[in-house]
Chain A
Amino acid sequence: MRVVIAEDSALLREGLARILAEGGFDVLAQCVNAEELRDAVRRRKPDVAVVDVRMPPTHTDEGARAAREIRDEYPEVGVLLLSQVVEAAHAFALFSERPEGFGYLLKDRVLEIDDFLEAVGRVGRGGTAIDPEVIAQLLGRPREDDPLADLTPREREVLGLMAEGLSNRGICGRLFLSPKTVEAHVKNIFMKLGLMPAPDDHRRVLAVLAFLRS
Chain B
Amino acid sequence: MHATYVRVLVVAAGIALGITAYNVQIDSLGANTTSVRAAASVVAAWASLAAGVVIWSRRPGNWLGPLMVATCFALLARQLRYSRDALAFTVFFALGELGYALIAHSALAYPSGRVRERSERRFLAVTYATVIAFPLAILLVHDEGVRLRYFDSYPRASLLLISPQDGLAGFLQDSYTVLAYGALAALLIVLVARRLRRATPRARWVLTPVLVGVVVAALWALYNSVVAFSTGPPGFVAHYTFWWQIAGLIALPVALFFGLIRSRLAHADVGDLVLRLEKTPPGGIRDALAEAVHDPTLEVVFWLPERSEYVDADGRSVELPRDGHDRAVTRLDHDDEPLAALVHDPTLRYEPELIDAAAAAARLALENARLQAEVQAQLAKVKESRARIVAAGDEQRRRIERDLHDGAQQRLVALALELKSAERRLEGGADPDVERLLSSAAEEVQVAVEELRQLAGGIHPGILTQGGLVVALAALASKAPLPVSVDAELHRLEPELEATAYFVAAEGLTNVAKHAHASSASLRACVDKGKLVIEVADDGVGGAAPNGGTGLRGLADRVEAQGGQLRIESPSGGGTRIIGEIPCES
Task: Say yes or no: is A43 at the interface (Cβ < 8 Å to chain B).
Answer: no
A19 and B417 contacting across the interface, CB-CB below 8 Å = yes
Q: Which of A9, A64, A85, A138 has the most CB of B within 10 A?
A: A85
Q: Who on chain B is nearest to A8 by CB?
A: B406
The distance in angstroms between the C-alpha atoms of A53 and B467, with both chains bound, is 10
* A108-B446, A108-B450 given; A90·B421 CB < 8 A: no
A143 and B483 contacting across the interface, CB-CB below 8 Å = yes
Residues of B within 8 A of A144 (CB): 483, 520
* A9-B411, A111-B417 given; A142·B457 CB < 8 A: no
Flag A1-36 by CB within 8 Å of B: 1 or 0 each.
000000011011011101100100000000000000
Residues of A within 8 A of B480 (CB): 142
User: Per a CB cutoff under 8 Å, which of B442, B449, B471, B481 touches A90?
Assistant: B471
* A22-B421, A59-B402, A108-B446 given; A12·B467 CB < 8 A: no
Task: Say yes or no: is B413 at the interface (Cβ < 8 Å to chain A).
Answer: yes
Task: Say yes or no: is B465 at the interface (Cβ < 8 Å to chain A).
Answer: yes
A142 and B483 contacting across the interface, CB-CB below 8 Å = yes
**Majority secondary structure of chain A interface residues (helix, strand, loop or mixed):** helix
Task: Say yes or no: is A209 at the interface (Cβ < 8 Å to chain B).
Answer: no
A12 and B414 contacting across the interface, CB-CB below 8 Å = yes
Q: Which of A18, A108, A143, A144 has the most CB of B within 10 A?
A: A108
B413 and A12 contacting across the interface, CB-CB below 8 Å = yes
Task: Say yes or no: is B424 at the interface (Cβ < 8 Å to chain A).
Answer: yes
A-B contact count, CB below 8 Å?
120
Q: Could you tell me how many residues of chain B have their Cβ less than 8 Å away from some Cβ of chain A?
A: 43
Task: Say yes or no: is B474 at the interface (Cβ < 8 Å to chain A).
Answer: yes
Residues of B within 8 A of A18 (CB): 421
B414 and A11 contacting across the interface, CB-CB below 8 Å = yes
User: Per a CB cutoff under 8 Å, which of B410, B420, B474, B483 touches A12?
Assistant: B410
The distance in angstroms between the C-alpha atoms of A19 and B422, with both chains bound, is 10
A90 and B463 contacting across the interface, CB-CB below 8 Å = yes
The distance in angstroms between the C-alpha atoms of A107 and B453, with both chains bound, is 11
User: Per a CB cutoff under 8 Å, which of A108, A113, A142 touches B424?
Assistant: A113
The distance in angstroms between the C-alpha atoms of A88 and B477, with both chains bound, is 11
User: For chain A, which range describes its interface: under 10, 10 to 19, 20 to 34, or 35 or more residues?
Assistant: 35 or more
Residues of A within 8 A of B446 (CB): 108, 111
B406 and A9 contacting across the interface, CB-CB below 8 Å = yes
* A9-B406, A15-B421, A84-B409 given; A61·B466 CB < 8 A: yes
A52-67 with Cβ < 8 A to chain B: 53-54, 59-61, 64
Residues of B within 8 A of A137 (CB): 478-479
B478 and A93 contacting across the interface, CB-CB below 8 Å = no
CB distance from B458 to the nearest CB of A (A): 12
B457 and A9 contacting across the interface, CB-CB below 8 Å = no
Task: Say yes or no: is A157 at the interface (Cβ < 8 Å to chain B).
Answer: no
Task: Say yes or no: is B468 at the interface (Cβ < 8 Å to chain A).
Answer: yes
Flag B437-481 by CB within 8 Å of A: 1 or 0 each.
000001000100110010011000111011110111111011111
Task: Say yes or no: is A110 at the interface (Cβ < 8 Å to chain B).
Answer: yes
The distance in angstroms between the C-alpha atoms of A84 and B403, with both chains bound, is 12
CB distance from B434 to the nearest CB of A (A): 18
Task: Say yes or no: is A180 at the interface (Cβ < 8 Å to chain B).
Answer: no
A111-146 with Cβ < 8 A to chain B: 111, 113, 137-138, 141-144
The distance in angstroms between the C-alpha atoms of A143 and B485, with both chains bound, is 10
CB distance from B476 to the nearest CB of A (A): 9
* A12-B417, A59-B402, A108-B413 given; A142·B482 CB < 8 A: yes
B417 and A61 contacting across the interface, CB-CB below 8 Å = no
Task: Say yes or no: is A167 at the interface (Cβ < 8 Å to chain B).
Answer: no
Residues of B within 8 A of A108 (CB): 413, 416, 446, 449-450, 453
* A11-B411, A90-B467 given; A16·B417 CB < 8 A: yes
Flag A67-92 by CB within 8 Å of B: 1 or 0 each.
00000000000000001110111101
The distance in angstroms between the C-alpha atoms of A14 and B456, with both chains bound, is 25
A110 and B470 contacting across the interface, CB-CB below 8 Å = no
A113 and B420 contacting across the interface, CB-CB below 8 Å = yes
CB distance from B437 to the nearest CB of A (A): 17
Nearest first, the 4 closest Cβ-Cβ pairs linking A and B are: A89-B474, A11-B414, A15-B417, A9-B410
A-B contact pairs, 21 of them (CB 8 A): A8-B406, A12-B417, A15-B421, A19-B417, A22-B421, A54-B406, A59-B405, A59-B406, A61-B468, A64-B467, A84-B456, A87-B472, A90-B467, A90-B471, A93-B467, A93-B474, A107-B409, A108-B446, A111-B413, A111-B420, A138-B478
Q: Which residues in B have some Cβ–Cβ distance to A below 8 Å? A: 402, 405-406, 409-411, 413-418, 420-421, 424, 442, 446, 449-450, 453, 456-457, 461-463, 465-468, 470-475, 477-483, 520
